[in-house]
Amino acid sequence: MPKKKSAPPSASGTPSSHNITSLSHEARVFKPAPEFSTAAHVKSLAAYRKLYDESIQHPDKFWSRVAKEELVWFSPFKKVLQWKEPVAKWFIGGRLNLAYNCLDRWLNTPVANKAAIIWEGEPNADGRPGEERTLTYRQLHREVCRFANVLKRHGIEKGDRVLIYLPMVPEAAIAMLACARIGAVHSVVFGGFSAQSVADRVADSGARMIITADGGYRRGATVQLKRNVDDALALKDSDGNQIAASVKSVIVLRRCCNDIHMKEARDVWWHRELEYVTPDCPAAKLDSEAPLFILYTSGSTGKPKGIFHTTAGYLLGAKLTTRLVFDLKPDDVYWCTADVGWVTGHSYVVYGPLANGGTSLMYEGAPNWPEPDRFWRIVEKYGVSILYTAPTAIRAFMKWGDEWPGKHNLKSLRLLGSVGEPINPEAWMWYHNVIGGGRCPIVDTWWQTETGAIMITPLPGAIPTKPGSATLPFFGILPEVVDDKGVEVPRNTGGKLVIRKPWPSMLRGVWGDPVRFKQTYWSEVQHSYFTGDGCRQDQDGYFWIVGRIDDVLNVAGHRIGTAEVESALVSHPSVAEAAVVGRPDELKGQALVAFVILKSGVVAKHELREELRQHVGKEIGPVAKPDDIRFAEALPKTRSGKIMRRLLKQVASGLEIKGDTTTLEDYNVLAKLAQTSE
């Protein structure tokens, strides 16, 4: 990475030089309330800037101090960072354990008997309230130790991969922490993904074990998780070989009385296994760089990539951001509504809150089941003080009407967070006024699976907010907006968002594929991490994320690779070719539009549309089902055969076709495409 001169406060260009003593758009600026600032962990803009400047100018000193203060180490690290682009090693020589940092460290403190996890299940279809469970730190510690012993009993050792495919139940956190305790590497797969996706992730990671449940609940129906696992384990590749051959055992949590099949010598019940183990399980003394988890996420090409994170840097990022961005205090009831199948669930449902001794609320169901006030009912019932959710949910709540939050007392809320996609100013204002009663700061947090922790965000109490902007970088993070040559663009000009310096919780690679790691993240812009996002900085240095500029779509806060959906579509016998693009969607941010060319002789019937949608659901999972399928006779291509996605996007959005079309192979194609809409 280029050695950036650490900017003196008045220099232009670097984020450390934000000239925000007076903000330009005063009308749209929300300053932290003095009462909030006085009590906040970071109390003023000046305090933020001082620490930020230190973190950029003297990163070794800053991170060394913070890592010692925040984490419990079995052996101290000897060196803060070894950077050989693109390979980073942080806190070299240190030994620690993530589960110890989340659990054991609290055992001889007043936190031991505090709620670590408060869980509420979805209300039953017949109207009975959902189940409730609370696990104190002491209870959670015991459950994690017992389950870690179950893993060991099944031969799981340090470095082995374990796939977790569970609903939003405390056992998901228990399974993750149990892996971390013995040094196994977990890979959580979102319960909405298909059998095929499970099999692909097993094959890529070489997982030896799958931890699942007989089923989960969603909107009154059950999700057949175990059945999907059975299907995944039966899948064969084109040569007739089992795809998920590395799996030796499956541990099944009993939830609903599904009629499920347990295969002898492979499948065992979670509760039965516990009968054979003790609650004593010392935490393994792991290297700072011991792999912690793999999480698959969509990229612009091919199958999802296994993003992997390691122990110390990731934990430090998750812990520090949770405390400072959410201003987490001992009395808070903190609720991040993400599923543990996504990175937000990893860092901000499980690891971040527990590493801080916080109380993390987990909810299994949908926001509008049985009624659209589900979230507000939970906020009132448990006195939630910090709520972290996605703009898609906020926009849906807006649509359902103010009467639903209006039925509940939301006075316990003191801070609101947003993540996963750009939040439009209207949704921001609604969140602020209707949910936050005009008094709660909003933290719009930008980050990615790859970054491990929040990167650009307001610090409540310190950084004034502007609706729609993620504001300023977190400590140690040096983002820049650059042009195609990698040169920083002037303020108020759009460009690519890159990160110029390594940071502790950064991804350490793409599992098993160092070449793809380098190509995807470290080749687009020289000596910088490429985020895949477009961005602009305003005159105050505030960052405004525009959204993905690669072929990744963000549908309802979920990352979906167009290439993945295209290959799912062409795997259907009726489809010859497919191209998938996004179009703006009021609720979901983006919607998926698929242009499909059928094989000759296949008739474009309405039922086929639904069949193709179901097919994609089966191949990837319901989140990837196209919203629109349009049958076309040909796709617009350049003379070299590249699909012109820009044009398809315009057709999909119903826009007039703009820009240069001179490289198009067949002009007629465009006219025909414009007529394909339903």
Interface positions with ligand WTA (CB under 6 A):
297, 342-344, 419-422, 444-449, 470, 531-533, 545, 547-548, 554, 559
Shortest Å distance, C-beta 192 to ligand WTA: 14
The single-letter code of the amino acid at 140 is L
Q: Which CB, 234 or 587, lies closer to ligand WTA?
A: 587
Shortest Å distance, C-beta 108 to ligand WTA: 34
Shortest Å distance, C-beta 235 to ligand WTA: 26
Q: Which CB, 444 or 619, lies closer to ligand WTA?
A: 444
Question: Closest Cα to residue 420, out of 305, 504, 336?
Answer: 336
Q: Which CB, 183 or 422, lies closer to ligand WTA?
A: 422
The single-letter code of the amino acid at 623 is V
At 221, list the tokens: 């129906």
Contact 162, 187 (CB under 8 A): yes
Burial letters 365-397, b for 16+ CB under 10 A, else e: bbbbbbebbbbbbbbbebebbbbbbbbbbbbbb
Q: Which CB, 86 or 420, lies closer to ligand WTA?
A: 420
φ and ψ of 277, to 5 deg: -125, 160
Name 162's Cβ contacts closer than 8 Å, sequence gap at least 6.
Answer: 151, 156, 175, 179, 184, 185, 186, 187, 207, 208, 209, 210, 211
Q: How far apart (Å, rounded) are the C-alpha atoms in residues 217 and 225?
A: 10
Q: Which CB, 141 or 588, lies closer to ligand WTA?
A: 588
φ and ψ of 69, to 5 deg: -70, -40
Shortest Å distance, C-beta 183 to ligand WTA: 25
Q: Which CB, 135 or 507, lies closer to ligand WTA?
A: 507
Q: Which CB, 378 or 427, lies closer to ligand WTA?
A: 427
Q: What are 576-582's contacts with CB under 8 Å, separation 24+?
A: 576/600, 577/635, 579/635, 579/643, 579/645, 579/648, 580/553, 580/626, 581/553, 581/645, 581/648, 581/649, 581/652, 582/553, 582/554, 582/555, 582/649, 582/652
Q: Which CB, 97 or 505, lies closer to ligand WTA?
A: 505
Contact 215, 317 (CB under 8 A): no
Q: Which CB, 396 or 664, lies closer to ligand WTA?
A: 396
Shortest Å distance, C-beta 271 to ligand WTA: 33
Q: Which CB, 163 or 343, lies closer to ligand WTA?
A: 343
CA-CA-CA-CA torsion for 18, 3, 90, 64, nearest 10 degrees?
A: -60
Question: Closest Cα to residue 574, out of 614, 622, 623, 620?
Answer: 614
Shortest Å distance, C-beta 677 to ligand WTA: 27
User: What is the DSSP code string of 399-419?
Assistant: HH-THHHHTS--TT--EEEEE
Q: Which CB, 444 or 540, lies closer to ligand WTA?
A: 444
Shortest Å distance, C-beta 202 to ligand WTA: 21
Q: How far apart (Å, rounded) are the C-alpha atoms in residues 307 and 481?
A: 24
Shortest Å distance, C-beta 454 to ligand WTA: 8
Shortest Å distance, C-beta 463 to ligand WTA: 14
Residue of closest CB approach to ligand WTA: 449
Shortest Å distance, C-beta 224 to ligand WTA: 25
Q: Which CB, 140 or 295, lies closer to ligand WTA?
A: 295
Shortest Å distance, C-beta 551 to ligand WTA: 13
DSSP SS3 for 302: coil
Q: How far apart (Å, rounded) are the C-alpha atoms in residues 89 and 173?
A: 27
Contact 428, 468 (CB under 8 A): yes
Q: Which CB, 91 or 348, lies closer to ligand WTA?
A: 348
Q: How far apart (Å, rounded) are the C-alpha atoms in residues 7 and 49?
A: 12
Q: Which CB, 101 or 531, lies closer to ligand WTA?
A: 531
Shortest Å distance, C-beta 513 to ligand WTA: 17
Shortest Å distance, C-beta 344 to ligand WTA: 5
Q: What are the CA-CA distances from residue 120 to residues 214, 353, 552, 605 (Å)?
A: 18, 17, 33, 44
At 139, list the tokens: 């209870």
Residue 627 CB neighbour total at 10 angstroms = 16
Residue 530 half-sphere exposure, CB side, CA atoms within 13 Å?
24
Ordered alpha helix ranges (H), 401-541: 403-406, 425-430, 514-522
Q: Which CB, 174 or 545, lies closer to ligand WTA?
A: 545
Parallel, antiparallel, or unpaired for β 575-585 and 558-561? unpaired
Shortest Å distance, C-beta 418 to ligand WTA: 6
Shortest Å distance, C-beta 519 to ligand WTA: 17
At 34, list the tokens: 């003095």
Q: Which CB, 528 or 676, lies closer to ligand WTA?
A: 528
Q: How far apart (Å, rounded) are the C-alpha atoms in residues 444 and 453?
A: 13
Q: How far apart (Å, rounded) are the C-alpha atoms in residues 523 and 86?
A: 10
Shortest Å distance, C-beta 651 to ligand WTA: 23
Query: How far is residue 663 CA from its own chain's centroid?
Result: 38
Name 52's Cβ contacts closer than 8 Å, sequence gap at least 6.
Answer: 16, 472, 473, 475
DSSP 358: -
Q: How far apart (Å, rounded) are the C-alpha atoms in residues 629 and 608?
A: 9
